[in-house]
Each structure stands twice: as structure tokens, then as C-alpha cells.
Amino acid sequence: MKQLTIGITDCGKFSNYEKWVSTEPWVRVCRLGYKQNNFLDIKNCDAILLTGGQDVHPRFYNKPEYLEFCLDADERRDEFELSVLEYSQQHQLPVLGICRGLQITNVFSGGTLTPDIVTAGNADHSKFDETHDRYHSVNVKQDSLLSGVVGRQSGEINSAHHQCVDRVGQGLSGNAVSEDGVVEGLERSLPDGKSFLLLVQWHPERMEDQQSTFATNIKRRFLEAMRESRS
């Protein structure tokens, strides 16, 4: 089988994502980031995986007053990844966004973020520490792309975020929600004729149960979308 390349955006836990998608021999990985100064390498990529990490700087969704709630915002990373999204949409590349990847895509689409979930009155969704994620249930929207991928209407996912979607961006719709009303997934509102786009707030690459359909099926469908787009 012809080798295909996934562009994975750079982050502190890059190796987690690299290992997760590299289980197939035909998958290659390209590390994309402003520190690598390699935006043009995206021309060699067949799909994009947007990773987790720092909060999106709130100036990108016109809420600079939220900066006091943000953790390690990196504007250069934001600018780089917004350019990655622009390219991916112009060239119909399949995109999987994880945690921050969901948030930056929502901002790219004109949406906004809640700067701190607990301050806004919701339950804590952040991880316990660097090695232990929080876990909670999630409900999946019927007839969504996500429901077709995971094959279930509810399940348990891991959680490691303190920000979340506020206003959903143009062209996107929610596909999953936690019991306390936090958006846990997004996808295209009208996907017909457009490239694969699936965004999840949890971390399928590091779920304890890698056989969960909320982990393995998401990876499988992303890889299938990449193959289909290049067939």
C-alpha cells in the first residue's frame, strides 16, 4: 500500500499522537510547528491531526479580556495552526482535532470559547495531574458523523481541559455533550462534498481503554478518510 503522511501539529506530548496513529505500516508522520519553521511541509501531507496543549489566545476570538484565565497561551502556535486549518480546508485534507484541536478549529470557524469551565459554573473537566485524566460520561447526537463512527449514543471518555466551546463556529454543529452541558465534539453541519472533519474534546490517543470505540474507532475512521481522499 502507498504510504501516506499525517501532519501532526507540534506540542509537548507529540510522541503520544505519533505512536497512536503509527500502528499501520503505510502511515508516515510529519511534525508541523512554528518551532520547526516548516509550514511548507504541509504540501506533503495527506491529512492533519490537530493536537492538544496550550489555551488558544482569546484575542483570536475577540475576547482579549479572557487572557487572565488562560494557561500558557502561545500566539505563534495559534497563528501557525490557523494557517494549517486554512490550507487544509482549501485543499480538502481530512482533519482530526483533539482537545485544543477542537477549540482552535472552532475559533477558526468564527466561534468562541468559555475561558474557564468551573468559573462559568460547570463541573471540573480538567485532569487530576499530569498522569491521570478525569473520566465522565458523554452523550452522542443521533445521526451524527460521530455516532456512525463510535456506534453508540453514550459512553465514557477521558477529560483534561479547563476551557470549552461557547458559541459554535459557522459551518459546525455539536455531536456530543457531557451531562452538565459542555460541548464534547463538533463536526461539519453540512458535510456533503466536503473533506472529513471530526473534532473531539477528549483524548482518544491516551484513553486507558484503547479498545473503546471512542478511541480506536476514531483513529480507524480518520485513517480511512485519509485513504479515501487519496484513492
11 catalytic per annotation: no
164 catalytic per annotation: no
45 catalytic per annotation: no
Kindly list the distances between the CA atom of residue 20 and the CA atoms of 66, 93, 117, 148, 210, in Å, as whole numbers in the listed order: 33, 19, 28, 21, 10
For 4-230, CATH number? 3.40.50.880
Nearest to 105 by CA among 161, 185, 218: 185
175 in Cβ contact with 141 (< 8 Å): yes
Q: Per DSSP, what are the bridge partners of residue 157?
A: 136
Residue 101 cell numbers, joined = 484541536
Written as tens digits, the pLDDT of the chain (231 aa) is 789 999 999 999 999 999 999 999 999 999 999 999 999 999 999 999 999 999 999 999 999 999 999 989 999 999 999 999 999 999 999 999 999 999 999 999 999 999 999 999 889 899 998 889 999 999 999 999 999 999 999 999 999 999 999 999 999 999 999 999 999 999 999 988 899 999 999 999 999 999 999 999 999 999 999 999 988
Q: How many CB atoms lie within 10 A of CB 54?
A: 17
Specify the 3-state DSSP secondary structure of 40.
helix
Q: Which of 57, 125, 162, 203 is flagged as catalytic?
A: 203
Q: Which of 11, 45, 70, 99 is flagged as catalytic?
A: 99
133 in Cβ contact with 125 (< 8 Å): no
96 in Cβ contact with 84 (< 8 Å): no
Provide the 8-state DSSP code for 141. Answer: P
